[in-house]
Structure 1
């Protein structure tokens, strides 16, 4: 984003904050509350709906589990729990179709 556009957005946000009586501390508190709520969540779907695992299971989760989806599919994992699989190394120099749909990757070249 270029600097002029950024300054324009900041000026607009400052005017709107003044119009509604919002202080920077209010925004910081709201962001902190959102982060706590998200951290407390144990399950989340693609739409952003969350559940902390306490109380009655929400309807969106009841529906997907009754349809056969595993509850753990929706578990929120901490960054240290997310182990990225190493990407296969491919020598594209020897593939005449590299970059096209005809490119081949055989198991021996991984």
Structure 2
């Protein structure tokens, strides 16, 4: 995006924020709330609907469990396997970064 277009978008957003009395702090708080809500989701379906497991189950959970699907099927697993490590590669100086030429083959990983 060129600088003039970026400045135009920023100016537009600033005017709209002033029009609706929205502060940057309010936007930051809203983003933080969204992140907390997304991280609190314990169950998610294929359409992106989520539920934290608290309170009354939403209709998509009721429908799925009534049809015989287990609730555990929709569980969001956040475990990270610490034993799987990616090779440390510094792509900043690689002219082929992002291309197919920059991929590391599995046999190269085991040799390091």
- TM-score category of the 2 structures, normalised to the smaller one: 0.5 to 0.7
Q: For residue 28 of structure 2, what is the aligned residue in structure 1?
A: 28
Aligned residue in 1 for 2:7: 7
- Tell me the equivalent position of 1:66: 66
- Aligned residue pairs total 82
1:1-110 matches, cutoff 5 A: 1-78=1-78, 80=80
The runs of at least 4 consecutive aligned structure 1 residues that moved more than 6 Å come to none
Stretches of structure 1 lacking an aligned partner (at least 5 in a row): 85-110
CA RMSD of aligned residues (A): 2.3
| TM-score, with length taken from structure 2 | 0.60
- In the alignment, the residues of structure 2 paired with residue 24 and residue 10 of structure 1 have an alpha-carbon distance, to the nearest angstrom, of 13
- Comparing 46-55 with 58-67, which one deviates more in the overlay? 46-55
Q: Any gaps of 5 or more consecutive residues in structure 2?
A: 85-112
- Relative to the length of structure 1, the TM-score reads 0.61
